[in-house]
Structure 1
Amino acid sequence: MHWLADLLAAIGVVLNGIPQGIMAMSLGFAIFPTMFSFLFASGVNGVFGAVAPLSFQAESLALTGKLGRNLRERTSIILGGSMIMLLIGVTGTLTKIVAILGDQIMAGMMAGVGVMLVRIALGMAKNERLTGWVSVALAALTYLVTKDLVWTIGVSVVGASLAAVGLQHYRAELPAHVTARRFVFTKPTVNPRVIRGALSLACLNIGANISYGLITGEMTGIKPNPVNLNLLTITQSLADMGTSLLGGAPVETIISATASAPEPVVAGIMMMLIMAAILAVGWLPKLGKYVPSASIAGFLFILGAVVIFPADATTALHGADATIAALTLVVTATVDPFAGLLTGGVLKFVLPLFGLGV
């Protein structure tokens, strides 16, 4: 009955990804071409026996939505970020970057991303008060009771959506390009905002690929950790590169419960194929008409404030580079991940050349 346990784990991760797919639609990303990212990643994982799947990731969506003013800028940010990550993956420099900067600075950047997610969640609640605050309240209550992110995202998104539909008669009309089951080439653009966004997304993915990827690998119980970070980075970058040119949403590394299934590779592939099927038949846009974007505010709040920030801030603030990591955290939270890592790198390596230090 291993296949049933694998399937249940896959469905659980799909349920976790659906609200973030709805978030992608709210940012204007086309859903139909995104299915090819899932198909591509499932094929790579099948060929190489990789246990770490890809899916919609709230952190990358939130960052892209914050830094890009429109769909063209957002897809250009994803394209640029994926090109940077492809270079990093092919050359095998992912772990070298972390080794150079150190775990504390990388953790400071990720903790700053946690704060950034909290700010975005509170901004959603401020703009859509009923939906947003109901989502935050339900997420906090559910997580306190269950300590489970799948239940947290399910209860908060469903509860907030029912409140919006029942009390405000909410029904969204999604843009045609979001719901269309066709391919439309989205011409990339280059400007300072896009360059900054691509660098920031790459910095976020460096941290996420290492932390989320290795956590997923640890969940398998296999020693040594079975996740090949370079393969994961190449897969993620190629998946994003293709769909970004068609207006599709990014799919990134996640902490996936499929890794704890009896057959983690099979469970991960099942999850991505199920998600691809949901996008192919158009179920997600139909569901998205009744799910406000602010319904995910609670999940973003818990993800940032409870899941990401405490663990990474603890790592960042304990050690020789605590002051530098703290400044990295603050700059990331107030500006973006690229500015945060750049600050950390300058403080650690450049200032000592001039006889200065922190």
Structure 2
Amino acid sequence: MHWLADLLAAIGVVLNGLPQGIMAMTLGFAVFPTAFSFGLAALVNGVAGSVAPISFQAESLALTGHLGKDLRERTSIIFLGAGIMLIIGLTGSLTKIVALLGNQIMAGMMAGVGIMLAKIALQMSREQPHFGWLSIGLAAATYLVTKNLVWTIAVSVIGTSLYAVLGERYHVTLPAHVTARRFQFVKPRFNLKILRGALSLACLNIGANISYGLITGQMTGQKPNPVDLNLLTSTQALADFGTSLLGGAPVETIISATASAPEPVFAGVLMMIIMAVILLLGWLPKIGQYVPSTSIAGFLFILGAVVTFPENAATALQGSFGPVAALTLVVTALIDPFTGLLTGALLKFGLPLLGLGL
């Protein structure tokens, strides 16, 4: 009966990813070309035996939506960020960067991202208060009872959507380029804003690939080695590199319950194949017409304020580099991950050269 457990784990992760896929559509990303990102990752994981799948990730979507004002800027940020991550993955630099900066500074950056997510959730709720505050209330109540993110996102998104459809008669027509089952080339744009956005997205992915990749690997009972993490980084970058040119959404590393399945590689591949089929058949846009984008606000708030921030902040503030990590956290939360990480690096290596310390 291993296959049934694998199937249930795959379906659970698919259900967790669908609301974030809807979030991607509200940001203007096309879902049809994104299917090929899932297909590529499924092929690579199946051949290489990797247990860490990729999917829609709330953090990268929220950050990209925050940094880019329209689809062209957002896809340009993803395209350039994917190029940076591809170089990091192919050269095996991921673990070296983390070792150079240290776990405290990386954790400070991730804690700052947690605050950013909470701020974005609150901003969304102010724009659509009927849906946003309901989503946050449902998410908070569900997480307090279950301590489970899958239940949190399911209850808050479904509950808010039911209220929207039944109580507010909610229905939205998505843009044609989002729902079209065809390819449309989006020419990348390059400027300083996009470069900073790409560097910020790359910084977020460095932290996420290390933390989420290790957590997913540990769920199988064994810790991934650097080769696994570099393969994960390269696969994610290649997937984003191609789909961004067609207006598709970014797909990144996630903490995946498929790793706890009896056959974690098969379960992960199955999850990505199911997600690709859903996108290719155009089912996600049909669902998205009845799901307010603000329904994800509750999950973003819990993910940022309750899950991401406390654990990473605790790691960041322990040890001799606590003050540097704290400044990294604050700058990330106020500006962006790249500026936060750059601040931490400059302080860590610059202050000793000046004979100063914190």
TM-score between both structures, scaled by the size of structure 1 = 0.99
Partner amino acid, structure 2, of 1:340: G
What does residue range 117-196 of structure 1 map to in structure 2 within 5 Å? 117-196=117-196
Correspondence for 1:238: 238
Q: Per-residue CA shift, 1:308-346, capped at 9, x if unaligned?
A: 111100000011100000000000001000000000000
Whether 1:210 aligns to 2:193 is: no
What does residue range 335-354 of structure 1 map to in structure 2 within 5 Å? 335-354=335-354
Correspondence for 2:300: 300
Q: Is the 8 A contact 2:217 2:223 kept in 1?
A: no
Mapped partners of 2:226, 2:343: distance in 1: 33
Whether 1:325 aligns to 2:325 is: yes
Distance 1:151 1:182, change over 3 A: same
Q: Report the alpha carbon displacement of residue 226 of structure 1 after superposing the two structures with TM.
A: 9.0
What does residue range 1-358 of structure 1 map to in structure 2 within 5 Å? 1-222=1-222, 228-358=228-358
Mapped partners of 2:326, 2:226: distance in 1: 32
Q: Report the alpha carbon displacement of residue 225 of structure 1 after superposing the two structures with TM.
A: 5.7
Moved more, 182-191 or 215-224: 215-224
How many residue pairs end up in the alignment?
Answer: 358
SS in 1 for 2:51: coil
Q: Report the alpha carbon displacement of residue 353 of structure 1 after superposing the two structures with TM.
A: 1.6
Q: Per-residue CA shift, 1:164-215, capped at 9, x if unaligned?
A: 1222211111000000000000000011211110000000000000000000
Partner amino acid, structure 2, of 1:175: P
Q: Per-residue CA shift, 1:117-157, capped at 9, x if unaligned?
A: 00000011111001101100000000111111111100000
Q: Report the alpha carbon displacement of residue 79 of structure 1 after superposing the two structures with TM.
A: 0.4
Partner amino acid, structure 2, of 1:6: D
Mapped partners of 1:90, 1:286: distance in 2: 38
Mapped partners of 2:224, 2:192: distance in 1: 42
Q: Report the alpha carbon displacement of residue 350 of structure 1 after superposing the two structures with TM.
A: 1.6
SS in 2 for 1:250: coil
Partner amino acid, structure 2, of 1:207: G
Partner amino acid, structure 1, of 2:256: S
Q: Is the 8 A contact 1:213 1:227 kept in 2?
A: no
SS in 1 for 2:33: helix
Partner amino acid, structure 1, of 2:176: A
Q: Is the 8 A contact 1:214 1:227 kept in 2?
A: no
Structure 1: tracts of 5 or more residues without a match: none
Q: Is the 8 A contact 1:33 1:247 kept in 2?
A: yes
Structure 2: tracts of 5 or more residues without a match: none
Partner amino acid, structure 1, of 2:128: E
Q: Is the 8 A contact 1:156 1:295 kept in 2?
A: yes
Distance 1:223 1:19, change over 3 A: closer
Mapped partners of 1:226, 1:296: distance in 2: 33
Mapped partners of 1:111, 1:220: distance in 2: 26
Distance 1:256 1:224, change over 3 A: closer
Mapped partners of 1:224, 1:192: distance in 2: 36
Mapped partners of 2:308, 2:5: distance in 1: 28
SS in 2 for 1:181: coil
Q: Is the 8 A contact 1:50 1:227 kept in 2?
A: no
Partner amino acid, structure 1, of 2:275: M
Mapped partners of 1:229, 1:285: distance in 2: 32
Mapped partners of 1:258, 1:14: distance in 2: 10
Mapped partners of 2:263, 2:2: distance in 1: 7
Distance 1:224 1:28, change over 3 A: closer
TM-score between both structures, scaled by the size of structure 2 = 0.99
Q: Report the alpha carbon displacement of residue 223 of structure 1 after superposing the two structures with TM.
A: 5.4
**Where has structure 1 moved over 2 Å in runs of 4 or more?**
222-227, 354-358
Q: Cα RMSD between the aligned structures?
A: 1.0
Q: Report the alpha carbon displacement of residue 227 of structure 1 after superposing the two structures with TM.
A: 7.3
Q: Report the alpha carbon displacement of residue 222 of structure 1 after superposing the two structures with TM.
A: 2.6
Q: Per-residue CA shift, 1:228-273, capped at 9, x if unaligned?
A: 1100000000000000000000000000000000000000000000
SS in 2 for 1:32: coil
Distance 1:237 1:224, change over 3 A: closer
